[in-house]
Amino acid sequence: MTGLENIIAFYNNTPVDNMFRSVLRNILTNLEEIGNSNIYNLADMCFTSPATISRLVKKLGYKNYTYFQKDLSDCVKKYEHLNRYIPMEEIEEKEDLQDAFLNTLENLMVSFRKQIDKAQLIRLVEEIHNSKRVSIYTYGINFAEFYLQSDLFMNGIACDVYNDDKSQFENAQTLDKESIVIFVLPKCIESAAVDKTVAAVKERGAKLCIITDTKHFSILKKSDLSFTFEGQLHLIDMYILQMFLSLLSIQYRSMYLD
């Protein structure tokens, strides 16, 4: 997860009446100023104190303000590269970007279909159904995981969705051998927090399924089941991971609800 995405996820999951939310709102509406602002300038911009800024950046996972400033400033400078929907070469050729996006999506769909392992999908459904507790770790707020969550509740299986590093780690520490974690893990996610959470899941004896768009996560070796869909972009690969969750929901319904 990029620094900017990390901040937005934290912002979206912070209560409206929480002081940090208003501070983050001011940061997000003044992103271009971050690179040239020291902690005192930023505190004035956000109508708060340097001490509050310092506490906030530590909550966001940074060692200090300098690390936060550099990371967020880099995200702003590289925004078009880090958040692209279309391959860079097609952007540079200046072809119709909407057509380029749809062509890219079609190509990824063809690749996605070829990579689906139906036998493994059925095995995952069975593992989920035989668990007393299901935790879905994802990032952002999407609908595919909510549909799967409702399917499980329909069958009396407790299922919760956690979409930030802190809540995922806290949940991992409460699991047991009758639990399973479905970890939707894009390659853009920072590995340090993920490693810590995965270690906690395994220490508790819970089963772990990782769904990702890269083969290069070392933690794949710690999973009981894994599904890897090789993508080529940042944003659009997230669609594929969501489509897989939709397939998982469809398969679950066909086996245990329909």
| pLDDT tens-digit readout, 98-110 | 888 888 888 888 9
pLDDT at 85: 76
Q: Phi, psi (5° rounding) for residue 207?
A: -80, 150
230/115 Cα distance (integer angstroms): 9
How does pLDDT run across 151-203, given as a tens digit for each residue?
A: 999 999 999 999 888 889 999 999 999 999 999 988 777 677 899 999 999 99
Distance (Å, rounded) from C-alpha 252 to C-alpha 258? Answer: 9
The model carries a pTM of 0.78
Average pLDDT score over residue span 232-245: 83
Domains of the chain: 3-81 (1.10.10.10), 117-256 (3.40.50.10490)
pLDDT digits (tens, 9 = 90+) for 60-105: 888 999 999 999 999 898 887 777 777 766 665 656 888 888 888 8
pLDDT score of 140 more than 70: no
Q: Which residue has the tokens 């970890």?
A: 183
Residue 141 has pLDDT above 80, yes or no: no
Query: What is the number of alpha carbons within 13 Å of residue 100 lying toward its C-beta?
Result: 15
pLDDT band at residue 237 using 50, 70 and 90 as cut-offs: confident
Residue 243 to residues 55, 147, 212: CA-CA distances in angstroms?
Answer: 38, 12, 12
State the number of CA atoms in the 13 A half-sphere of 8 facing the CB: 13
Question: Distance (Å, rounded) from C-alpha 240 to C-alpha 86?
Answer: 15
Average pLDDT estimate for 123-147 = 91
pLDDT number for residue 193 = 83
58-93 burial: b if 16+ Cβ within 10 Å, else e = eebbbeebeebbebbbebeeeeeebebbbbeebeee
